[in-house]
């Protein structure tokens, strides 16, 4: 049984996603976003413009975008004023002249307002105020809380994002910092995200942070001279190993710096292990942001992960989450699900990375963790199909843990050499692309040299939990 991503409904204000059809739109694909943001922290006031460069997949008399609650000042299509209508969470734009199929066009939106999260069945997601700053955590539907977009994971695009805010604040955006300029009391930060990126994986972080450099190479993005910067050392309790080829930075509240050094001190070793198992790190840098507020869960973004102050205690209590979010850079960010029904391909792999790191770092072996979680999952109701859990259970713990158990069982089924060769091939063949469960099944069968239909039917499509094989 193979689940395939449906094509967007032609010309409709829907992506055709089986779980979240109201997010995303048909008729075009975005190639690039140019976002210019001016943000005032105290009043949480955003004045902004967004220029979307897109390609029409159909003839279009109207273009629809996902967008939050802002006052729109003007809209242009290909530089010319266009009529528009804001209705609910959609911005409908009618150009002066219809767009022919195959044409490249731009939509420019100027807007202002107080950004607020999108309410969803998983709580509030998107742009959110902190005690002194802001963060963006958009998975799965929060991107429209701060910019107009085609909000579906399958429509990946490149980005250039400019953020201007008061100079005492540090800004991090999911991208490479290419410019930083201070004028009077404000600073303009410019970031570029050259890899195709899903809307939910774009993030903005604003706060009073120290910037820490984890690579020990003296790496510093252009324009950062004069910023408060600290290089983490390599002594006991500090960075114990580094992946020299991957620039790593962190933005951390000063009060948490010492605890952070211990809790994230083995991140270099994690990157080394994951590159060994999954292939080269897929982005130009890796940035950690620790907010000065508590967060329910850490959040992955493209080339970035965001943790709450409560995840930093100086005792490595949450180290499994450090490697989990790092693994998402391969599974979820570089390899992005074609639609949300395939979410186990994100969470099952990131969870299995936790188990592999535990074994690598001297903790419990993956086999012991698999046995423990198998018993815990078996004690729960057998009412979730991992390959298609349903929208209400996208983030159910069983999708994470049984997804990892599926990978552990596959490892036993085809053997370590084939299993780890499969993982490297999977990440390499689909680098910066879209994936679905059916494609993974075919890839696994290629490395097994035989049909695995019965195996995946048991592990992915049957709610009852199969027995766990030994590895």
In this prediction, residue 14 carries a pLDDT of 80
364 vs 362: CA distance, rounded Å: 7
* pLDDT of amino acid 12: 62
Please tell me the CATH superfamily of domain 336-461, with its number.
Neutral Protease Domain 2 (1.10.390.10)
pLDDT of residue 470: 76
Per-residue model confidence as pLDDT tens digits over 324-368: 999 999 999 999 999 999 999 999 999 999 999 999 999 999 999
CATH code for the part of the protein at 1-205: 2.60.40.1730
Distance CA 307, CA 322 (A): 9
Binding site listing for Zn(2+)? 324, 328, 347
How far, in whole angstroms, is CA 418 from its chain's centroid?
A: 28
pLDDT in tens, 121-155: 988 999 999 999 999 999 999 999 999 999 999 99
pTM: 0.92
Alpha carbon distance, N-terminus to C-terminus of the chain:
26
State residue 417's pLDDT score.
98
* pLDDT at 244 (0 to 100): 53
Domain extents for the chain? 1-205, 336-461
Q: Catalytic amino acids?
A: 325, 400
Annotated binding site: 324, 328, 347
Going by DSSP bridges, is the β-strand pair 248-252/286-290 parallel, antiparallel, or unpaired?
Answer: parallel
* Integer Cα distance of 78 and 97 in angstroms: 10
- Between 344-360 and 397-414, two packed helices, what is the crossing angle to 10 degrees? 70
Task: Report, as ranges of residue numbers, the positions in the chain whose pLDDT lies below 50.
Answer: 1-11, 216-243
């Amino acid at each position: 049984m193979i689940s395939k991503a449906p094509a967007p409904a032609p010309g409709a204000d829907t992506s055709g996603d089986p779980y979240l059809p109201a997010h995303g739109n048909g008729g075009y694909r975005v190639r690039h976003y140019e976002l210019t943001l001016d943000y005032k922290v105290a009043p949480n006031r955003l004045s902004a413009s967004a220029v979307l460069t897109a390609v029409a997949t159909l003839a279009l008399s109207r273009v629809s975008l996902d967008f939050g609650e802002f006052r729109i000042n003007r809209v242009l299509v290909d530089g010319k004023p266009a009529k528009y209508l804001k209705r609910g969470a959609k911005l409908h734009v009618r150009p002066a002249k219809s767009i022919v199929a195959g044409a490249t066009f731009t939509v420019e939106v100027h807007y202002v307002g107080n950004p607020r999260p999108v309410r969803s069945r998983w709580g509030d997601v998107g742009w959110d105020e902190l005690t002194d700053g802001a963060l963006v955590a958009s998975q799965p539907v929060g991107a429209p809380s701060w910019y107009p977009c085609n909000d579906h994971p399958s429509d990946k695009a490149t980005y250039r994002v400019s953020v201007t805010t008061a100079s005492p604040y540090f800004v991090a955006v999911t991208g490479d910092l290419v410019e930083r300029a201070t004028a009077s009391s404000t600073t303009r930060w410019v970031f570029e995200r050259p890899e195709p990126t899903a809307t939910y994986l774009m993030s903005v972080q604003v706060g009073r942070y120290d910037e820490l450099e984890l690579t020990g190479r003296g790496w510093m993005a252009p324009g950062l001279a004069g910023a408060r910067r600290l290089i983490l050392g390599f002594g006991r309790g500090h960075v114990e190993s580094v992946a020299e080829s991957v620039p790593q930075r962190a933005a951390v509240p000063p009060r948490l710096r010492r605890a952070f050094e211990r809790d994230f001190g083995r991140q270099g070793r994690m990157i080394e292990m994951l590159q060994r198992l999954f292939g080269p790190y897929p982005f130009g840098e890796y940035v950690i942001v620790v907010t000065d507020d508590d967060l329910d869960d850490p959040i992955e973004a493209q080339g970035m992960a965001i943790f709450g102050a409560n995840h930093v205690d100086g005792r490595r209590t949450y180290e499994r989450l450090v490697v989990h979010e790092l693994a998402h850079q391969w599974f979820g960010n570089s390899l992005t699900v074609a639609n949300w029904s395939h979410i186990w391909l994100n969470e099952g792999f990131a969870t299995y990375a936790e188990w592999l790191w535990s074994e690598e770092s001297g903790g419990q072996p993956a086999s012991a963790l698999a046995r423990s979680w198998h018993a815990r999952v078996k004690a729960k109701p057998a009412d979730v199909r991992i390959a298609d859990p349903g929208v209400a259970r996208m983030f159910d713990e069983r999708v994470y843990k049984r997804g990892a158990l599926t990978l552990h069982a596959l490892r036993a089924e085809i053997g370590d050499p084939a299993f780890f060769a499969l993982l490297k091939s999977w990440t390499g063949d689909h680098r910066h692309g879209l994936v679905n469960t059916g494609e993974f099944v075919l890839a696994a069968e290629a490395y097994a040299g035989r049909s695995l239909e019965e195996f995946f039917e048991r592990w992915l499509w049957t709610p009852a939990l199969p027995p766990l094989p030994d590895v």
